[in-house]
Amino acid sequence: MNNFQNKIAVITGGNSGIGYAAAKELKEKGATVIITGRRKEAVEKAAADLGVTGIVADQSDINATNQLVASITKSHGQVDILFINAGIATISPIEYATEQHFDDIMNINFKGAYFTLSKFIPILRDGGSVVFLSSIVASTTSAASSVYSASKAALNSVMKSAALELAPRKIRVNAVSPGPIATEIMYKAGLDDATLGTIKDSLITKSPLKRMGNSEEVASVVTYLCDDAAGFITGSEFIIDGGLLLV
């Protein structure tokens, strides 16, 4: 079903994981998709595999975001869908956290996401859709993830403010908050295989559905929120965690 025909979709961090899966589904449903990412080779490969446009842009760099918006304005004019997905997750106890650790996470996850929305607002088409990738850690407590959790909690707050600000233009703004999803970000958190295995086993044991989720399941919710079928949904957070928050 090509219900996204003639729609322009931009996905930050679209070269892997949930961003890649969302790009794939939106493309299959007829959208013209543009993915971004920091790693040139990864972006080019993903774009080629998906049959979409890839632009190298670091979400933590506001100048890069300005250039991205200028490039897309020149090539497409306006954007219908903006999925602000790029993010990183590293851990540190508060006592040992460095300024670099704090800045690395906040510059991408919060500051970068905030200014990506800010810079794209002028070229968002009236009636369009914005989706933030948040996380259940925004509302849960976990040792050594204070900065990451704070970055996602901040995003949820901005999402609600943006939903109010953009409502006069019928632009809807929502967030998806995954729980235990098997994606590359788990392997980039600086944990060894044994620790990762222990964490996965623990999450699966705790989860009512007794499994990890996958990127495609999150992407399906993102796609739904960008569809006209979700036309009366804005300012909402969608939890995708297999029931983990229930226990």
Q: What is the per-residue pLDDT for 28?
A: 97
Q: Cβ contacts of residue 128 below 8 Å, gap of 6+?
A: 79, 80, 81, 82, 171, 172
Q: Convert the pLDDT of each residue in 120-170 to its tens digit.
A: 999 999 999 999 999 999 999 889 999 999 999 999 999 999 999 999 999
Least confident of 38-42, 144-148, 187-191: 187-191
What pLDDT score was predicted for residue 110?
A: 98
pLDDT at residue 199 in the model:
78
pLDDT at 189 over 90: no
Determine the Cα–Cα distance for residues 160 and 115; give it in Å rounded to an integer.
15
Is the pLDDT reported for residue 59 higher than 70? Answer: yes
- Which DSSP state fits 244? G
Instruction: Work out the angle between the directed axes of helices 146-166 and 99-106 (0-180°, nearest 10).
Output: 30
- Domain boundaries in the chain? 8-246
Q: What is the pLDDT of residues 16-39, one digit of tens each?
A: 999 999 999 999 999 999 999 999
Tokens 């998906």 sit on residue: 50
pLDDT category at 91 given cuts 50, 70, 90 is very high
Has residue 194 got a pLDDT over 90?
no
- Decide which of 3.40.50.280, 3.40.50.720, 3.40.605.10, 1.10.10.10 is the CATH code for 8-246: 3.40.50.720
Supply the pTM of this predicted model. Answer: 0.95
> Could you give the residue numbers annotated as active site?
148
